[in-house]
A = this chain, B = another copy of it.
Amino acid sequence: MNFDLKTEFTLSKDISKLEKEIKTFFSDFEKTVLKGKKVNFQNIKIKGETFTLNIVSKSTFRPHNALLQIKNKISQEFGKKHHIGVREIKIENYTIVFDLEKKPLKDFKIPFAKIEIKNKTAKLILEQVDEEFLRGNYIDRIIKRVHEKVENQYYEGKGEFWKSIWESKSKKPVWNKDPTEEMVKKDWLKQGPTKGKWFFRPQAAAILKTMEKIAIEEVLKPLGFQEIIESNVVPFEVWLKTGHMEGMPGEFYYVCEPNTRDPDKWEKFVDLTKITREIPISELKKNLSDPKGGLCYAQCPVIYWSLKGKTISEKSLPVLIYDNTAISGRYESGGRHGIERVDEFHRIEPVYIGTREQLLGLREKLLERYKHVFNNIFDLEWRMAWVTPWYMQQAGKIGDKGTQDTGTIDFEAYMPYRGDRKKSEWLEFQNLSILGDKYIKAFNIKAQKSSLWSGCSGIGLERWATAFLAQKGINPDKWPEGFKKYLDKLPKGIEFL
């Protein structure tokens, strides 16, 4: 790496006569503090109350890290001898040259700096940088982000890692229709009131609630999971810690609070609404705060937040908890389909925290319970595969290979309405992850003695329902016996003319 930082110091008095002393100061600083660091001071120029110089480094030592040290030292030495202090430091220009692992496939930008790339060498040019910028450690993150952007260019377009690990027997489906379409025709389901959301009338609601009951009774309770209830609104700080904020900002539903409840401040809005029968958006926006968070995207971040900074007693390990209340919102610009790909869905999310051994053992037990549900109760044609979901790859925390320890297993079901079982895309209707210590560290969660890992397993009720109905139909008479024990008859619903 190669750094060249041009800085200007403004002092409290004219220093024209101190040229020799100043040059000696820097030459001493080089020989003592920066000894062996391949850092040099160059072009020291003195003019009135200011001097400029370049700090040049040929190693990984960052010149900006020396600046504040220099400031202090000058204040000490010249303060004592000449009653001179440092008023201001400016960075006029900062050039950083470093090698990339790969040659970028296309140009890109980076905030705060100009970037020039030749082959595998990147050159960052920053101008007029302030002290806060340096203190905030932005430089190192800019360099890291440049590496990441190049890496992403190579990664884009590569599919998700996928490796089959188990497959059920082939089963003869009861029908090959799209269950959502059929339920809409029967008035069991209605789309809306906003994009990608659904209204479940009694028959469809009964199916979804049965999925919930089976998940709780057959998977979570037998393994000792305890229910918690979390908020549906997630502040940005939580998503900053989990990496969601930078991973999928285009998929959140953002939430804005009113900035006041004072009726006087809302009076004009109310007047305009009553008079025009339309929403006066610009008047509304005057009364709203900037967004500070969004709707639940997955439930685990808030569960980790709830344990932030806590030390868990050994006898509470493994912590086995689940949320069945927060509703997941994910903005889908396109590709919505039926109740299986939506902007809002209902999910139970078990989270487990314990030692590596505890979690590996738990994974086996969870797999066994899930197999029991999908084989014995749903009688599904389904399979399991090791995958690394894109958001994990995006956050750059997990490699692109499934391993036996950390990683994610996807559960996929054959969807007869999509066509041939070999050629059509199966539906991911369940997953199970062990995530190592990623979130444990992010939220500083500790145990009395043990090192902790964590994981989670999203149970999407709409996905369970779609997988089941796509294979078994919507006529309860044709449902498997195991499922009929939970639901053998649909509610009457509401009849329309």
A residues contacting B by CB (< 8 A) are 109-112, 136, 138, 141-142, 144-145, 148, 190, 192-194, 197-202, 204-206, 208-209, 226-238, 240, 245-246, 249-258, 260-263, 265-277, 279, 281, 284-285, 287-288, 290-293, 295, 302, 305-307, 310-313, 315-316, 319, 321, 325-327, 329, 331-333, 344, 346, 448, 491-497
7 additional A-B pairs beyond A109-B271, A249-B258, A250-B262, beta carbons within 8 Å, are: A192-B231, A249-B270, A254-B256, A255-B295, A257-B331, A285-B291, A316-B495
Chain B hits for A263, CB < 8 A: 250
Cross-chain contact B258 with A251 (CB below 8 angstroms): yes
Residue of B whose beta carbon sits closest to that of A232: B327
Chain B hits for A205, CB < 8 A: 226-229
Chain B hits for A275, CB < 8 A: 111-112, 138, 141-142, 145
The answer, among B204, B253, B496, for a CB contact under 8 Å with A255, is B253
Cross-chain contact B197 with A209 (CB below 8 angstroms): no
Cross-chain contact B209 with A227 (CB below 8 angstroms): yes
Residue of B whose beta carbon sits closest to that of A265: B250
Cross-chain contact B273 with A245 (CB below 8 angstroms): yes
Question: How far is B322's CA from A209's CA once the two chains are assembled, in angstroms?
Answer: 13
Are A312 and B258 CB-contacts (below 8 A) given A234-B193, A236-B279?
no
Chain B hits for A496, CB < 8 A: 310-313
Cross-chain contact B227 with A206 (CB below 8 angstroms): yes
The answer, among B266, B326, B332, for a CB contact under 8 Å with A250, is B266
Question: How far is B346's CA from A491's CA once the two chains are assembled, in angstroms?
Answer: 24
Cross-chain contact A288 with B287 (CB below 8 angstroms): no
Are A291 and B284 CB-contacts (below 8 A) given A273-B245, A495-B316?
yes
Cross-chain contact A202 with B228 (CB below 8 angstroms): yes
Cross-chain contact B493 with A226 (CB below 8 angstroms): yes
Task: Point out which of A208, A237, A307, A494 has the most chain B C-beta atoms below 10 A from its C-beta.
Answer: A494
Question: How far is B206's CA from A233's CA once the two chains are assembled, in angstroms?
Answer: 21
Chain B hits for A287, CB < 8 A: 249-250
Cross-chain contact B255 with A228 (CB below 8 angstroms): no
Cross-chain contact B193 with A302 (CB below 8 angstroms): yes
State the Cβ distance, A171 to closest chain B Cβ, in Å: 28
State the Cβ distance, A277 to closest chain B Cβ, in Å: 7
Question: How far is B277's CA from A138's CA once the two chains are assembled, in angstroms?
Answer: 9
Question: How far is B496's CA from A310's CA once the two chains are assembled, in angstroms?
Answer: 7
Cross-chain contact A256 with B194 (CB below 8 angstroms): no
The answer, among B261, B277, B326, for a CB contact under 8 Å with A333, is B261
10 A-B residue pairings within 8 Å (CB atoms): A192-B231, A193-B302, A226-B493, A233-B329, A236-B279, A246-B270, A254-B284, A256-B256, A258-B331, A316-B495
Question: How far is B327's CA from A208's CA once the two chains are assembled, in angstroms?
Answer: 17
Residue of B whose beta carbon sits closest to that of A257: B331
Cross-chain contact B226 with A491 (CB below 8 angstroms): yes
The answer, among B209, B305, B491, for a CB contact under 8 Å with A193, is B305
Chain B hits for A250, CB < 8 A: 258, 260-263, 265-266, 287
Question: How far is B267's CA from A374's CA once the two chains are assembled, in angstroms?
Answer: 40
Question: How far is B249's CA from A269's CA once the two chains are assembled, in angstroms?
Answer: 8
State the Cβ distance, A25 to closest chain B Cβ, in Å: 33
Chain B hits for A276, CB < 8 A: 136, 138, 141
The 5 A-B residue pairs with the shortest CB-CB distance in the complex, in nearest-first order: A313-B495, A197-B231, A202-B226, A200-B229, A250-B261
Cross-chain contact A271 with B110 (CB below 8 angstroms): yes
Question: How far is B492's CA from A227's CA once the two chains are assembled, in angstroms?
Answer: 11
Are A199 and B231 CB-contacts (below 8 A) given A255-B255, A311-B496, A491-B226?
yes
